[in-house]
Amino acid sequence: MPIFGTDGVRGLANGSLTADLALSLAQATAVVLGQGRTADARRAAGKRLTAVVARDPRVSGEFLTAAVSAGLASSGVDVFDAGVLPTPATAFLIADIDAAFGVMVSASHNPAPDNGIKIFARGGVKLPDVVEQRIEAAIDAPKLQPTGGAVGRIRRFADAEDRYVVHLLGSLPNRLDGLHVVLDCAHGAASGVSPETFADAGATVTVIGADPDGLNINEGVGSTHLGALQAEVVRLGADLGIAHDGDADRCLAVDANGAVVDGDQIMAILAVAMKDRGHLANDTLVATVMSNLGLHRAMTEHGIRVEQTAVGDRYVLERMNEGGYSLGGEQSGHVIMSEFATTGDGLLTGLHLAAEMARQGKSLAELASIMTVYPQVLVNVTDVDRSRVGDPVVSQAVVDAERVLGDSGRVLLRASGTEALVRVMVEAASEDDARAHADALASVVATRLAL
C-alpha cells in the first residue's frame, strides 16, 4: 500500500506515522535522492551530501524530526536543523544553500495529533510521483551504512530564519508603511517569522494565534477558522488581516469590514498588479477547476488568460513549470509566485497583497472588487459508484443545467479520488439558483450511480 499521499506522508503521529517509519523513510530518501551526477561530483570532491530539516511546532514534530535527522545522518548526510519554520522557508533554504534535498515535518492545517513528512528535492521542489514510488521501494531495500568519520553530522541551522526574512523582504516592490495588519499565525510555524517580517516591511502589526504550545496548532484559529481574525480586524479598525495555516504555505485575507478575501480574489489582485509591472509571464494565471467563475471573467476583462488544472497545488505547480508561468494557485489560499518561490508561500503572498494596497493607496475591499464572486454551492453525494460518473443520464443532466445557466453559471462534477462519493459544484448569479441546480443534479447522481 502506498505511503505517500497528495502531499507527502501524513497520518496520526505515533499511530500510522511512527518514529520507525520516519527513520526508514529518511534512510530511503538518502539512497534515492543521493544518486545522480551532482551527488557523485560532490562525493568525488570529498563533500558529503547536505539536507535541510525543519518542522512546525506540534509536539510530535520533536520526535519525528529527531528520527528523520537520525536516518539521514546514519546514511552519511549532513543535516542542517532549521527548527520551527514554515514549509516554504524550508523549500527556499534548500535552494539557498544548494542542499541535496530537504524534509519538512508538518501536517499543515490538520489538527495537532496528526503529523506529516514532506520531502523536497534539490532546488526546493516537490517530488514527482515516480520519485516518491522509488523512495517507497527503497524502504525495504539495503540502506547506506557508513561508519567512522563517514557518518553525517547534525548541526543547528543558526541563520535559517534570517535568510528567509531577507529573501521575503527583498521580493517586495515597495514597503508597507501606513498599513495596520492583523496576523493570525494558527499557533503554527509562522508564529515567530511572520510578525517579524511584516514589521520589518514597515507595517503596524497585531498578532493573534501566535502562542504555540505543541497542542493548539490550528485550534480555532488560522486559515480554517477565520472568525477570530475577522473580529479582531473590525475591533481594531485595522486595514487588513492575514491568516496562515499550520505550516504557512497558504494565505487567506480579511478586509477592514471583516469580509473574507479568498485565494481566487488574492490571485486576481496579484495577477493584474504583476501584469501592470510586466511580471506576469505570458499574461497567464494558472488556477484549478474549482476556482470561481468570477475569477475567469475578471481575468478576461484585464486581458489575462486562465489555464485550468486538477485540484491540488502540485498540479498547479506542474502546469506553471511546463508553461513557464509566474503566478498560480487555489481558492484555498495556496498561491505560488514562481519568481520568488518553488511552492505556495503564505507569508510571501500576504506581503505582496499588502504591498499592492500600499502602492495603490486603496483598501483591500476596493482591490478585491476587481472580481465578482459568484455564489458557489458544493454537494457531496455519498454511497455512489464514482467510476460511473460519466453515465449518459448524468452527463445529459449536466448539459441541461449548463444550458439553463448560460454564461451566468458553471457546473462541475468530480469523482473523489479516495471515497465513494461524487462532488457536485454549481455556480450561478444567485445563491438560490446555484442551490436549486446543485440539488437537482445531486439527486440524479444519487439515483443513477447508487451502489
Any binding-site annotation on 184? Answer: no
Q: How far apart are the first and last CA of the chain?
A: 25
Which DSSP symbol is given to 144?
Answer: P
433 is in an annotated binding site: no
The span from the CA of 158 to the CA of 80, in Å, is 9
Burial bucket for residue 432 (CB in 10 Å: 0-12, 13-18, 19+) = exposed
Residues 274, 256: Cα–Cα separation, whole Å: 24
Distance CA 367, CA 256 (A): 12
The residue whose grid cell reads 444550458 is 403
**291 assigned to active site:** no
Can you say how many angstroms the Cα of residue 312 is from the centroid of all Cα atoms in its chain?
A: 9
Cα separation of 21 and 42, whole Å?
A: 28
User: Which residues 6+ apart lie within 8 Å of 1 measured at CB?
Assistant: none
Q: Which residues contact 397 (CB under 8 A, 6 or more apart)?
A: 440, 441, 444
The amino acid at 86: P
In the set 106, 108, 223, 332, the catalytic residue is 108
Other residues' Cβ atoms within 10 Å of the Cβ of residue 160: 24
d(CA 124, CA 138): 21
Beta strand 421-427 with 410-415: parallel, antiparallel or unpaired?
Answer: antiparallel
Q: Which of 364, 367, 356 is nearest to 253 (CA)?
A: 364
98 known ligand binder:
no
- The cell for 3 is 505511503
Alpha-carbon gap, residue 87 to 179, rounded angstroms: 26
Is 213 annotated as belonging to a binding site? no
| Residues annotated as catalytic (active site), given as ranges | 108
Binding residues for Mg(2+): 108, 245, 247, 249
